Structure 1
Amino acid sequence: MSPVTAELPAAARAFLARPHVATLTTLRPDGTPHVTPVRFTFEAAAGLVRVTTRAAARKARNVAAGGPTARGALCQADGFRWVTLEGRTAVTDDATRLADAVRCYTARYRVAPPTPPDLVVIEISVERVLSLNV
C-alpha cells in the first residue's frame, strides 16, 4: 500500500468508494488550472486514481504536455465533506492499463465507460491527501 493512502482513515476510504462525480484539476501549458467534472476510480492499495477520457480532451492534453513532472488533483465533495487526492499525473493508452481502468469503472458505476476510439486513462499516483469532515 502506498505510504500516503495507508494513512487514509476508514471513513475517507468509504467516502471515496461512493460512486460520486469528482472534479479533476490539471494544469494547462500556460500554468492556469483546468477543472472538469469526472467519474473516477481510486485503488487505495496502489494509491492510484484513474480517469478514462479521450486523448483529444483538454485534461488529457494538459497531462501529456506536462510530461513526467505533470501534477493533478481529484476532489470528491458532498456538501461540507470532501477528500482531495494530489500527485504525479500521467496519461496512457496502454491496453492493460486501459482494461484495468474500464474494469474498475464498470464495477464502481455499474455501467461501462464510453469507449471512443482515442480512449486513454489519466492516472494520478497519490502523494498527498487533504480532507474535511470525513
Structure 2
Amino acid sequence: MSIDLGDPPAAYLSFWRERHLCTLTTLRPDGTPHVVPVGVTFDPEAGLARVLANKSSRKVAHVLAASGVEGPGGPGARVAVCQVAGRRWATLEGVAEVSAEPGRVAEGMRRYEERYGRVPSPNPDRVVVEIRVTRALGKVG
C-alpha cells in the first residue's frame, strides 16, 4: 500500500517512532541486494531517513560506489529501509548519501537515542547514511 509522503497517516508515523529493528537494502556493484539489520529514524518533515554506520562498513561502501550512478530518481544510491512487526510493515525508499559532517552525525545520533532509548556507543569512525525518501509503502492498520 502506497503512503502519501505529503500527508502520511498518523499510524504510519507512530510506527516509525516505535522501537523496531529494521533492515537496510543497498545494491552491490553487481546489482545484487545486500540486506543488513540497522536502526533507522524517519524525519518526515525533512523527508529523511537516517542510519548510523561505521565508515568502513559494506553498506557505506555500496552507497559511496553508487553515488554517481544515474538511476530512475536521478544520480545516487537507491536504497530501502524496512521494518516489520507481526502483520504491520513499513518501507521507505530513496536516494542515499553518506556524511561524516559532525552536525549531521550528531543529528542522527540524537534521533537514534530518541527512538531507541539509548545513546549509541562512542565511535570515531561513525558516519550517517541519509536517505532522501522518495516513496513510502506499508500496512500499519
TM-score (norm 2): 0.88
The percent of aligned pairs where both chains have the same amino acid is: 46
The corresponding residue for 1:93 is 100
The corresponding residue for 2:111 is 104
The reply to whether residue 18 of structure 1 matches residue 41 of structure 2 is no
Contact 2:23 2:37 survives alignment (8 Å): yes
1:1-134 matches, within 5 Å, as: 4-68=4-68, 69-134=76-141
Stretches of structure 1 lacking an aligned partner (at least 5 in a row): none
Contact 2:63 2:97 survives alignment (8 Å): yes
TM-score (norm 1): 0.92
Residue 132 of structure 1: how far off its partner (Å): 2.1
Q: Which has the higher helix share?
A: 1
Q: How many residues align?
A: 131
Task: Please tell me the residue identity of whatever aligns with 1:80.
Answer: R
Stretches of structure 2 lacking an aligned partner (at least 5 in a row): 69-75
For residues 81-113 of structure 1, the C-alpha deviation after alignment (integer angstroms, 9 at most, x for no partner) is: 101000011111011100111111111112111
- State the secondary structure of the residue aligned to 1:17: coil
Residue 30 of structure 1: how far off its partner (Å): 1.2
CA distance in 2, matches of 1:81, 1:101: 25
For residues 34-77 of structure 1, the C-alpha deviation after alignment (integer angstroms, 9 at most, x for no partner) is: 00111111111111100101011111111011114211100011
Contact 1:88 1:125 survives alignment (8 Å): yes
Task: Please tell me the residue identity of whatever aligns with 1:130.
Answer: L
Contact 1:23 1:36 survives alignment (8 Å): yes
Runs of 4+ in 1 over 4 A off after TM superposition: none
CA distance in 1, matches of 2:122, 2:65: 23
Contact 1:5 1:45 survives alignment (8 Å): no
